[in-house]
Amino acid sequence: MNFLHIYPLSLHGKYSWFLPRTKGRVALVGDAGYCASPAAGMGGSLAIIGATALADAFEKHPGNFQSAFNNYNSELRPFIEEVQGAAVEMLEKLLPRTEEEVRLRFQHGL
């Protein structure tokens, strides 16, 4: 894996850093589980939303952490992918990769 690469893994034509972030009895939330990027401006919000989604999953599946984790992963994933996709679009605007993209940016703005 190239750690300097700023773009996420493309899954089914979508960008996503979100992979199941649960293993055994451990669940990751916030940046540890699904960091969008500094361009998203959503770090704190995603952490709160993720913690709430995990709590809701435990409430739906009392005493069954595996079912709760499955629910947490499947319910939260579409929202996280949307936020991450918007972050990628913003990064592409903020970080032009070619001289032509730089020229067009200065000529037309973001």
3-state secondary structure of 46: helix
Position 12 confidence tier, pLDDT thresholds 50, 70, 90: very low
Strand partners, 27: 22
Domain ranges in the chain? Answer: 16-108
* Closest alpha carbon to 46 in 14, 77, 70: 77
Give, in order, the Cα–Cα distances in Å from 26 to each of 55, 67, 108: 13, 13, 47
pTM for the model: 0.66
Determine the pLDDT at residue 18. 54
pLDDT tens sequence across 15-38: 555 555 788 888 888 877 777 666
Ramachandran category for residue 30: left, alpha or beta (phi over 0 → left; psi -120 to 50 → alpha): left
Give the CA radius of gyration of the chain. Answer: 17
51-98: pLDDT as tens digits? 999 999 999 999 999 999 999 989 988 888 888 777 777 777 777 788
